Amino acid sequence: MERAHAWLAQDPDGQTRDELRSLIARAEDGDAEAAASLVDRFSQRLAFGTAGLRGALGAGSNRMNRVLVAQAAAGLAAYLVERAEPGAQPSVVIGYDGRRNSDVFARDSAEIFAGAGLEAILLPRMLPTPVLAFAVRHLGAAAGVMVTASHNPPEDNGYKVYLGGADDGSQIVAPADAEIAAQIQRIADLGDVGALPRSVGYANAGEEVVDAYIAATAAVAPAPSGAAGLRWVYTAMHGVGWETLAQILDVADYPAPIPVEAQLLPDGAFPTVAFPNPEEPGALDLAYETARAAGAELIIANDPDADRVAVAIPDSEAGWRMLSGNDVGLLLGWRAARRASEIGRDPAASLACSLVSSPGLEAVAEHYGLGFHATLTGFKWISRAPGIIFGYEEALGYLVNPETVRDKDGISAALAVLELAAEARGRGESLADVMAEFRSLFGAFASDQISVRVAQVEEIGAIMRALREHPPERLGDSPIVRSDDLRDGVDGLPPGDVLRYWLDDGSRLIVRPSGTEPKLKLYLDVRAASEPEARQRLAALDDGARGLLASIR
């Protein structure tokens, strides 16, 4: 209760002040639900880590709000000033998407950065995350902040941090995350964000930054001759992708899509989807409906901040089916490898993916004589792979233009997919035919994922602990021939809370906690000579993985 009153005294937001006053009054009157809500909001802080901040909007230290954002901005400013060269003025560029309060959090941050003596540059309007990531490098900024919760539920928002200079516009990694977190805690301990110096002397970036991103992205995949007449459907999932993508399509000379009108413009309430993530069941239902009515050949969907992209194609059995992140990642990786081969291979060129993504990318790299790197999950690691020309993670994230954006970019990836579809169309084929050609050349790779959502995060730790204390020897009928605990660091990777099991037929199971949600994730990968055989092996691996879970829960 003491923390709640202290928070109330410094909160500049009338809405969250009213929310907190009501909770305090109800708790003081004996309302157990209100008291429990206060405990949840003030017993801990929303943790700042390598994903920045992300959580539900609301009053309290365990929520996203103006107090927490002010503390984060002041802490980041102190970190940047501390590491700057003597006499230098670090610059920070700030972007925001269409979620509730994103614009407010962005302007608060710009004022606090400027008040701390930094050169603060606010992007001109709500824009995709890849534009912010591009702007950090384009403007030579010391850091960038993107206010977004990406594909999280509608009630969430977040605060993602990028670093320039030697970090080359990538997301933060250790030890920067801990050092920034320590500065944020120092600011929080002072107890009054109202005392932080602010200034409206920040700069507003001009359209030149957006225009530069559009030009660079359009150059990634100019339309081939087969693009004419391509019928495709697009949804922005109530996010900010459409305005920027539309301009790029025009410059690159692709036909305009048939839009999912109800989801085309930004709307932080996300009225047509319960969970604005293309991977979630039902999220693409309106896109499928639009595609069926239009006789489309392809569906492309961005998530709300447009750093991810989903692809769906016609299916003779299901009508339409969404390709997995690994399906798209392998096609785009193959595209990148072919192009590297055509223009003359840089000896240092490499493909990269997270260690939970398909091993098929390594097969592509080997075929074309390219380097390959498997990294810990997250583009903060993938983007740092030496010599990277393409990188991806199975959660619909793709980096196709590392020379301009050091993060996943759902807009440039969408353009690359359109190029593949248009090239196939010019040959009288489809993306399904391209996938069949990939299998004939590299073999059939099949992947799946089991997500176990838990009520208490502690359950995940208990499962991981049980697996370490009692290592499994079999998965179903198949013996485990190799086990890796990445907590100790394996294959040159930084330590991570990941367990990896290999079966005698080359199949692989990886177990790890989610970095952004209360979930345990299991990743299943197999390789076979044919697609039916791969599906059979995957089903057996799925049975074995579920049996393992049942034995320890």
Q: Output the pTM of the full model.
A: 0.94
Pick the catalytic residue from 91, 150, 350, 354: 150
* The CATH number of domain 326-440 is 3.40.50.620: no
Whole-number Cα distances in Å, 543 to 464, 473, 483, 508, 509: 19, 15, 19, 13, 12
Q: How confident is the model at residue 321 (pLDDT cuts 50, 70, 90)?
A: very high
For 336, the enclosing helix (H) or strand (E) is helix 325-343
Tokens of 508: 């692989």
Beta carbons within 8 Å of 486's beta carbon, 6+ residues apart = 355, 376, 493, 495, 496, 497, 498, 499, 500
Percentage, residues of the chain above pLDDT 70: 99
Strand-pair category, 119-122 with 156-163: unpaired
79: amino acid identity, one letter: Y
CATH of segment(s) 211-317: 3.40.120.10
Q: How confident is the model at residue 49 (pLDDT cuts 50, 70, 90)?
A: confident
Q: Where in the chain is the domain with CATH 3.40.120.10?
A: 2-205, 211-317, 326-440
Percentages helix, strand, coil for the chain (3-state, rounded to 5) are: 40, 20, 35
Taking residues 126-139, what's their average pLDDT?
98
**Residue 235: closest CA among 350, 143, 151:** 151
Residue 324 known to be catalytic: no
Answer yes or no: is pLDDT of 86 > 70: yes
In the numeric block, the tokens 């992947």 are attached to: 447
- The lowest-confidence range among 233-237, 305-309, 484-488 is 484-488
Tokens of 37: 């809500």
Distance between alpha carbon 222 and the CA centroid of its chain, in Å? 25
| Distance from C-alpha of 322 to C-alpha of 299, rounded to nearest angstrom | 9
The reported pLDDT for the residue numbered 60 is 97
How many other CB atoms are there within 10 angstroms of residue 369's CB atom?
12
Answer yes or no: is pLDDT of 496 > 90: no
The reported pLDDT for the residue numbered 553 is 74
Q: Where in the chain is the domain with CATH 3.30.310.50?
A: 444-552
Cα dihedral: 363, 366, 493, 388 (round 10)? -110
Answer yes or no: is pLDDT of 52 > 70: yes
Contact 463/539 with Cβ under 8 angstroms? no
Taking residues 324-332, what's their average pLDDT?
97
**Residue 184: closest CA among 53, 60, 92, 90:** 53
| Distance from C-alpha of 528 to C-alpha of 466, rounded to nearest angstrom | 31
Side-chain half-sphere exposure of 91, counting CA atoms within 13 A: 17
How many other CB atoms are there within 10 angstroms of residue 228's CB atom?
13
Omega cis (within 30) before 386: no
Distance between alpha carbon 147 and the CA centroid of its chain, in Å? 13
The reported pLDDT for the residue numbered 51 is 78
Distance between alpha carbon 24 and the CA centroid of its chain, in Å? 36
Contact 46/55 with Cβ under 8 angstroms? yes
**Residue 129: closest CA among 167, 101, 169, 90:** 169
Provide the CATH topology of domain 2-205. Alpha-D-Glucose-1,6-Bisphosphate; Chain A, domain 3 (3.40.120)
The reported pLDDT for the residue numbered 9 is 95
For 343, the enclosing helix (H) or strand (E) is helix 325-343
The reported pLDDT for the residue numbered 488 is 80
Residues 233-270 as b/e (b if ≥16 CB within 10 A, e otherwise) read bbbbbbbbbbbbbbbbbeebebeebbbbeebbebbbeb
The reported pLDDT for the residue numbered 241 is 98
Taking residues 293-302, what's their average pLDDT?
97
Tokens of 223: 């339309």
428: amino acid identity, one letter: G
In the numeric block, the tokens 């999280």 are attached to: 152
Q: How confident is the model at residue 345 (pLDDT cuts 50, 70, 90)?
A: low
Model pLDDT for residues 399-422, shown as the tens digit of each residue: 999 999 999 999 999 999 999 999
The reported pLDDT for the residue numbered 489 is 76
- Order of strands across the sheet that contains 309-315: 258-259, 232-235, 298-302, 309-315, 319-322
**Residue 251: closest CA among 293, 221, 292:** 221
Supply angle C-alpha 204, 206, 208, rounded to 5: 150
| Distance from C-alpha of 354 to C-alpha of 376, rounded to nearest angstrom | 5
Model pLDDT for residues 138-168, shown as the tens digit of each residue: 999 999 999 999 999 999 999 999 999 999 9
526: amino acid identity, one letter: V
Following DSSP, what letter does each residue of 476-515 receive, concatenated?
Answer: TTEEEEEEEEGGG--TTPPP-S-EEEEETTS-EEEEEE-S
The reported pLDDT for the residue numbered 516 is 64
Following DSSP, what letter does each residue of 138-188 receive, concatenated?
Answer: HTT-SEEEEE--TTS-TTEEEEEEEE-GGGTTEEP-TTHHHHHHHHHHHHH
Taking residues 78-95, what's their average pLDDT?
96
The reported pLDDT for the residue numbered 477 is 87
| Distance from C-alpha of 197 to C-alpha of 291, rounded to nearest angstrom | 52
DSSP-derived 3-state class of residue 312: strand
Higher pLDDT, 67 or 225: 67
Model pLDDT for residues 255-276, shown as the tens digit of each residue: 999 999 999 999 999 999 989 9
- Tell me the Cα Rg of the chain: 24
Q: How confident is the model at residue 548 (pLDDT cuts 50, 70, 90)?
A: very high
Q: 444-552: which CATH number, 3.30.365.10, 3.30.310.50, 3.30.420.10, 3.40.50.300?
A: 3.30.310.50
Side-chain half-sphere exposure of 289, counting CA atoms within 13 A: 9
Tokens of 160: 């993602």
